[in-house]
């Protein structure tokens, strides 16, 4: 069974500062993927970044980077140079990899609400 934990229900960050969103996970699958999604107040789910458990390097996508620490089972999202448009709910998710029955089956954490202030 998989479990995703996001312990920060909400946080404030000032514009142009960096923010780290925590995510820890638990799984018995030998290989898995970790994802971050953004959900602004308009409601849509926007894919941000992906990290495979087998990847040696941390994933980066523009201002987003994923701090992957496999031994600690953590996959924190770092947003650099925050912008007002980054205000949203952020979800960490994971999925087993390999095997038709489980591939892509995402399980989400509870989310962290980020508010960026001027």
Partner 1 sequence: DAGVIQSPRHEVTEMGQEVTLRCKPISGHNSLFWYRQTMMRGLELLIYFNNNVPIDDSGMPEDRFSAKMPNASFSTLKIQPSEPRDSAVYFCASSLTGYEQFFGPGTRLTVL
Residues that bind partner 1 (CB under 8 A): 33, 35, 37, 43-47, 50, 91, 95, 97, 100-111
CB of 91 to partner 1, least distance (A): 7
- For residues 46 and 56, give the distance between their C-alpha atoms in angstroms, rounded to a whole number: 25
* Minimum distance of partner 1 from residue 89's CB (angstroms): 10
The SS3 of residue 86 is: helix
Q: Which residue, 28 or 71, is less far from partner 1 as judged by CB?
A: 28
Distance CA 29, CA 43 (A): 31
């Amino acid at each position: 069974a998989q479990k995703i934990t996001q312990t920060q229900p909400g946080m404030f960050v000032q514009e142009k500062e960096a923010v780290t969103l925590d995510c820890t996970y638990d799984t018995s699958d030998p290989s898995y993927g970790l994802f971050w999604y953004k959900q602004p107040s308009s409601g849509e789910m926007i894919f941000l970044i992906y990290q495979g458990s087998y990847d040696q390097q941390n994933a980066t996508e523009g201002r987003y980077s994923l701090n992957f620490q496999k031994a600690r089972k953590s996959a924190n999202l770092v947003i650099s140079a925050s912008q007002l448009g980054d205000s949203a709910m952020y979800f960490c998710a994971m999925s087993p990899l390999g095997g038709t029955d489980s591939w892509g089956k995402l399980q989400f954490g509870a989310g962290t609400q980020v508010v960026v202030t001027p």
